[in-house]
Structure 1
Amino acid sequence: MLEMYAQLAKTNIRKAIKDYLIYFITITICVSLFYAITSLSSSSYELITEESYNFRNLKLILQYSTYVITAILILLVAYVNKYMIGRRKREFATYVLLGAEQNSISMMFFIETIVVGVLAIIAGIFVGTLFSQVITAMVLISAKQEVVFSIKLYLDTVAITFIFFISMFCIIGLYNIIVLRKIKLIDMLNAHKQVEFQFKRSKKVYISIFVVSIIMYIISGSYTVKLINSEIDYSVKLLIYIGISLITFIIGTYALFYSISYIMICIKNKWVNFKYEGTNLFLIGSIVSKVKTAPILMATISITFLGAMISFIMTLVMSQWAMGYLDMRVPYDIDIRNNYSTNFLAKSNIDDIKVLPKLDYSEIVEYLNNNGAVIESYCQVEKYIISYDESTLAIKLSDFNKLRAMLGYNEIELKNNEFTTQWHNAASDEVVNDYVVKNSNLNINGITYNISQDSSYKDSIGEGFYSNSDNIIILPDRVCDNLDFIETNFVANIENKMKYEQANEFRQNYIYEWFRNNNSKFVTKYSNENDITDSVIDIRIKSLEINNILTTTLAMRILGVYLGIVLLMISLTILSLSQLTESIEHKDRFNVLGKLGVEEAQINKIILKQISIYFIVPIAIAMIGAAIFIYNYYIIYNDIITIFVGNIEFILSIIFGVALMLVIYMCYFIGTYYTFKRNININLP
């Protein structure tokens, strides 16, 4: 008896791999990507980079995020197992009629799925060794390091991969055992007659739902129009517009697929000539039958496509955004920010402002020079307050020119009665122009100063000089001597990069200890029971910021693309299996066409049309939704995208995301088409 079950299991495994080759390939690719990403956290993995980089956080982010993303595959495994059980219920019924116990049948099916899963894991691990080199190359290229390929098998990652996926297969397998034990013999025999959905409601209901879907799509588009006509202020209101637009689109999609098959039948009955032209009747019947049996599934696939496209595109855009923001965030190698204005000026505590200590960073300069970070140039920038009511700050022209010289910009000139403005990169031209028009004159201590011909500058000098506004005033040096001092910033460029550990020690420990030691009275007076040191002193070190930004952007790119691939492959695999299941269950219908004299080439055209419509409709709807989302996103963040990403890079990110998705899509489409033909052509005359 055991030998018989073993032989049956062996035969069924071969059949399962043959019939569900696309599922097997999907699991293999997902395993390979999981292994490749998780291998970065292996104890045996070595990522050789400069000492100024540390990717420990990247490894941790990738490791645990990969677990979460890959867990989504349990939906695919569950769906495929459900289909396999549904397709083989009559086969299982035959085993029962021949005397087999349902417990034995369920265990045999469990072993089949585990064996197929193990084979996919093994294949995926070997493919994953190649993918791991691609991820390593991405990290090294981003860190501007030499790429060296070294294919290795990491045993701890192999163990983690096996445990993770086997656990997933076992959870679904045990559930299948329970399901198979409870299925009645009569239900197994009649399984092929069951459908997921039938028209059980009146004509008015389906037409009403179809109208609702159209209304939802109109609402989704109308909120896009609202965004176009709204003043962009990055408020929560505009984000709510995007949310409503997306939610109404999703509701409209489910309503559309719920009612579309009924609408198609109505159209078919009205267009009699088209219905009876050639093989259209057969094609329309197949499409309506498939859409009618699984409307919720088709809608869910469309939404999953939408999620995959947004994941592909937005992670690429956001990573470009982060890299572009880095140049504005930290243009200097070292940037120490004195934040008195944020903590005291905002509270309008003028008495406190007048006794704020002027920081002298000479000890910092000496420390850096003595510890290998030789300073090439530096500047202590004193900031002064012009208006307490408007929190308007100013810096000296000489300091401003020193900052510009350190960054390679040309120096500027001001007449004795002139001033100019320096703006945050993210400030829009409209905001800048409006400010210049309304503030062309500035009254300081009874003297009027006129804005210079070059009224504004947006060359990045670092974001640490902007406290409670997007701009800072540039005044002649002598004017600032009569203003109230507020704080002193320090910026420096060094001749060589600081090592990661050295920079981290300088930022986390030395700088705060230096401030407390040199300003003990201030710290004692205003700290009370809490240390305020870290709230009035902030430090940015370029090497650390680059490391953190690289960690963030690499994590977004790798995980975003991985999430998009997982979602896309789940959707395409379900679409493909659904079509291949129909090719197996309904191949007699195609044999009838052959017996009626329809040529094989014509039957192949029917298959191509059927698969094309079934594949194109969900992805077309998803592309419309993605276009609405991306367009709304661009409308809100147009200025920021232009500054930190670039319009060309933004478009290229969209093109890359769509192209990657279409490549995967075409592979599944072609594979489904040829497998469908293979299944159908078996009994064609």
Structure 2
Amino acid sequence: MYVKLAKGNAKKSIKDYLIYFITITICVSLFYAITSLSSSSYELITEESYNFRALKLILQYATYVITATLILLVAYVNKYMIRRRKREFATYVLLGAEQKIVAFMFFVETLIIGILAIIAGIFIGTLFSQAITAIVLISAKQEVIFSLKLYMDTLGITFIFFISMFFIIGLYNVIVLRKIKLIDMLNAHKQVEFQFKRSGKVYSGIFALSVILYVICGSCTIKLMNLKIDYSVKSLMYVGISLITFIMGTYALFYSISYIMIYTKNKWVNFKYEGTNLFLIGSIVSKIKTAPILMATISMTFLGAMISFIITIVMAQWALGYLDMRVPYDIDIRNNYSTSFLKEVNIDGVKELPKLDYSDVIDYLNNNGYDVKSYCQVEKYIVNANNESILAIRLSDFNKLRSMLGYEEMELKDNEFTTQWHNATKDEVINNYVSKNPSLNIRGEIYNISGNSAYKESIGEGIYRSTENIIILPDKVCDNLDFVETNFVANIENEMSYEEANYFQSNYINDWFIKNNSEFVKKYSTEGDMTFRVIDPRIKSLETNNILNTTLAMRILGIYLGVVLLMISLTILSLSQLSDSIEHKDRFNVLRKLGIEENEVNKIILKQISVYFIVPITIAIIGVSIFIYNYYLFYKNIITVFVGDKTFILSSIFGVALMLGVYICYFGGTYYTFKRNVNN
């Protein structure tokens, strides 16, 4: 009998649960879609050069963590429903039902709603899984093929994960309901979460504190605008302080704002008694006063959702842009004798460093069908000029690197030099260096900087070692300089598979170096593997695969985290309003009896909901604008090079637009349901 009653209540309450049901359904569908990538039955057909095992693992476990935050939403919704229906539960108890049975009925009711949401979410998730698959295939430049399919292991994981969540909250609710006194159930509608318990001076002081915190936030932004960014702790401190003070200021504002509104209302007498303003102000103040911390938390959750949307998209694009600079060649073997290594193995000079010959590597590539179409052995030299040591390469090597990447070759006179710079280096740094070093004194000979004094086209990250620039000298000058190391870069006709590239990078190069430099390895090897500190091979296909795994994980998880945070906030905000529509229904009936027309009542409802929805989102948009602007100021040069200003702006607009789209849908649903509750 009680189970039938619970089922009947679930059917009656389906409209009350509608927003919650839709939210859980969407979250289940996204959880299923992302988790399906790690299914044993899932087949992601791509070229052999890609391996997405890391992506699947990252998505699988990160999805569990993100989705676990939904327990906050489930707990709040259950708390909301319990509070709203305490009088109903009291009626059951008065009619003779045991309190534990009433608690069990509520548990069954919420479990039924949850199971229906899981079933609906799984079927919608099959569509979302195809969208995620399409994102992966497009990123890997593969043909997109759609195939709707249910994955039984993922289906089981989804059911177990969400049912466990519902059981944990449900059992907790059973314990809570069993302990509530009957008199408290009957008077539940009279209870509030918060009342003014302190003097007006305290709330005025907290409001003043919120203003001060916002001023500090703004001043940090202004300071950052005028500060020379050097990526130091001091520079980063301004970004952190601005964000922290904004968050603290928001909580202080919401804690005190209801008192300030009441104070302003009492002073602004004419406005207070104009039309239905008194009723509207009373409703708004009453709600903000009862849950200030909740409103502030919702604002901050909106802020977190927008930051998640924007930053993950920007960071993913950053990683892709960095890839083009990091490894522009198919194969890049860096012969890197760092200063720390030279000291560690007690090499006083550079005479003992082996001058590598990569001919065996070229033969290996050709013999295994990869067909080297162009390559360059880049020899680096130490130049002691102008009382400092700088790194230099030959003009012929520099032109070979440029030609391999499709750039025009350049010329130098016998008494000239030029510079090549990391393309993320600021122009002011380059100009400052050029102005201070118009000439170099190399072993008594003066070399002047050429007309084209600086080049920023990417020729690979490995060329610079630990510096931002490298000197380009005529070939004959380098004949008398101290040799340091030899890098090797090559472009091949046929791309390596993932497994072959992994073997080449991890095994072959290491064995080749040991074989050809046995005496050096024997003399200077340490307990660690020395070869990997001397030889650092980079294969473009492997780097591309790793970057794709990272960027896809960031994009998918960033959007998922943003959606979860956004929907939790909007659902809580919506249910908070719908609770008012039921508990304060009599207030609107009084307005009708006083002669207020239905259109005017609807306007009051629209204004009330608009304030509750607009205030948190407005604060969040202000916060995200400050954060994103500070973020841009801090990483401006890097964003310009690797992301692009237009892409950064579009990513920011996309994040805000996506949030506003979902926001408007929840606003419309809340307004419609609020009117239905008041009118019925």
Q: Which residue of 2 aligns with 1:495?
A: 493
Query: Which sits farther off after the overlay, 222-231 or 323-332?
Result: 222-231
Q: Which residue of 2 aligns with 1:35?
A: 32
Q: 1:70 aligns with which of 59, 67, 84?
A: 67
Q: Which residue of 1 aligns with 2:447?
A: 449
1:103 aligns with 2:76: no
User: 1:531 Cα shift?
Assistant: 2.1
Q: Which residue of 1 aligns with 2:204?
A: 207
Q: Distance in 2 between matches of 1:541 and 1:595?
A: 78
Letter in 2 for 1:628: I
Q: 2:370 aligns with which of 367, 370, 373?
A: 373
User: 1:344 Cα shift?
Assistant: 4.1
**Aligned ranges 1:8-157 → 2 under 5 Å:** 8-157=5-154
User: 1:370 Cα shift?
Assistant: 1.0
1:393 aligns with 2:391: yes
Q: 1:354 aligns with which of 351, 354, 362?
A: 351
Q: Distance in 2 between matches of 1:103 and 1:626?
A: 47
Q: Distance in 2 between matches of 1:345 and 1:222?
A: 47
**Aligned ranges 1:408-487 → 2 under 5 Å:** 408-487=406-485
Q: 1:279 aligns with which of 273, 276, 280?
A: 276
Q: Which residue of 2 aligns with 1:229?
A: 226
**Aligned ranges 1:273-672 → 2 under 5 Å:** 273-344=270-341, 351-387=348-384, 390-672=388-670
Write out per-residue CA displacement over residues 461-508 of structure 1, whole angstroms, 9 at most, x where no aligned residue: 000011121000000000001000000000000012111111011011
Q: Which residue of 1 aligns with 2:192?
A: 195
User: 1:50 Cα shift?
Assistant: 0.7
Q: Which residue of 1 aligns with 2:168?
A: 171
Q: Distance in 2 between matches of 1:517 and 1:663?
A: 62
Q: Distance in 2 between matches of 1:359 and 1:170?
A: 65
Write out per-residue CA displacement over residues 619-664 of structure 1, whole angstroms, 9 at most, x where no aligned residue: 1001111011001011111111100000000000001111100100
Decide whether the 8 Å contact of 2:420 with 2:469 is kept in 1. Answer: yes
User: 1:354 Cα shift?
Assistant: 1.5
Letter in 1 for 2:543: E
Other structure's SS at 1:58 match: helix
Decide whether the 8 Å contact of 2:331 with 2:490 is kept in 1. Answer: yes
Q: Distance in 1 between matches of 2:23 and 2:341?
A: 59
Decide whether the 8 Å contact of 1:321 with 1:641 is kept in 2. Answer: yes
Write out per-residue CA displacement over residues 505-530 of structure 1, whole angstroms, 9 at most, x where no aligned residue: 10111111111111111111111333
Q: Distance in 2 between matches of 1:195 and 1:346?
A: 70
Letter in 2 for 1:267: T
Letter in 2 for 1:426: A
Unaligned runs of 5+ in 2: none
* Aligned-residue identity in percent: 78
Q: Distance in 2 between matches of 1:324 and 1:230?
A: 26
1:162 aligns with 2:159: yes
Letter in 2 for 1:143: A
Other structure's SS at 1:54 match: coil
Unaligned runs of 5+ in 1: none
Write out per-residue CA displacement over residues 250-284 of structure 1, whole angstroms, 9 at most, x where no aligned residue: 11000000000000001111111111111111111
User: 1:678 Cα shift?
Assistant: 1.0
Q: Distance in 2 between matches of 1:318 and 1:184?
A: 53
Decide whether the 8 Å contact of 1:397 with 1:474 is kept in 2. Answer: yes
Decide whether the 8 Å contact of 1:428 with 1:639 is kept in 2. Answer: yes
Letter in 2 for 1:512: N
Q: Distance in 2 between matches of 1:168 and 1:257?
A: 31
Query: Which sits farther off after the overlay, 229-238 or 377-386?
Result: 229-238
Q: Distance in 2 between matches of 1:423 and 1:627?
A: 33
Other structure's SS at 2:15 match: helix
Other structure's SS at 1:459 match: coil
Other structure's SS at 1:381 match: strand
Q: Aligned pairs, how many?
A: 679
Letter in 2 for 1:454: N
User: 1:225 Cα shift?
Assistant: 1.2
Q: Distance in 1 between matches of 2:659 and 2:459?
A: 40
User: 1:348 Cα shift?
Assistant: 11
User: 1:16 Cα shift?
Assistant: 2.8
Q: Distance in 2 between matches of 1:211 and 1:532?
A: 61
Letter in 2 for 1:643: V
User: Normalising by structure 1, what TM-score?
Assistant: 0.98
Decide whether the 8 Å contact of 1:523 with 1:531 is kept in 2. Answer: no
Decide whether the 8 Å contact of 1:337 with 1:490 is kept in 2. Answer: yes
Other structure's SS at 1:597 match: coil
User: 1:345 Cα shift?
Assistant: 5.6
Other structure's SS at 2:144 match: coil
Decide whether the 8 Å contact of 1:344 with 1:352 is kept in 2. Answer: no
Write out per-residue CA displacement over residues 210-255 of structure 1, whole angstroms, 9 at most, x where no aligned residue: 0000000001111111111111111122212111111111110000
Q: Which residue of 1 aligns with 2:245?
A: 248
Q: Distance in 1 between matches of 2:306 and 2:528?
A: 47
Q: Which residue of 1 aligns with 2:258?
A: 261
Q: Distance in 1 between matches of 2:388 and 2:107?
A: 72
Q: Distance in 2 between matches of 1:58 and 1:410?
A: 39
Other structure's SS at 2:521 match: helix
Write out per-residue CA displacement over residues 389-421 of structure 1, whole angstroms, 9 at most, x where no aligned residue: 744110000000000000000000000000000
Q: Distance in 2 between matches of 1:17 and 1:44?
A: 35
User: 1:347 Cα shift?
Assistant: 7.1
Decide whether the 8 Å contact of 2:345 with 2:524 is kept in 1. Answer: no
User: Normalising by structure 2, what TM-score?
Assistant: 0.99
Decide whether the 8 Å contact of 1:311 with 1:564 is kept in 2. Answer: yes
Decide whether the 8 Å contact of 1:466 with 1:472 is kept in 2. Answer: yes
Q: Distance in 2 between matches of 1:612 and 1:575?
A: 11
User: 1:352 Cα shift?
Assistant: 4.3
Decide whether the 8 Å contact of 2:302 with 2:565 is kept in 1. Answer: yes
Q: Distance in 2 between matches of 1:605 and 1:140?
A: 49
Decide whether the 8 Å contact of 2:118 with 2:159 is kept in 1. Answer: yes
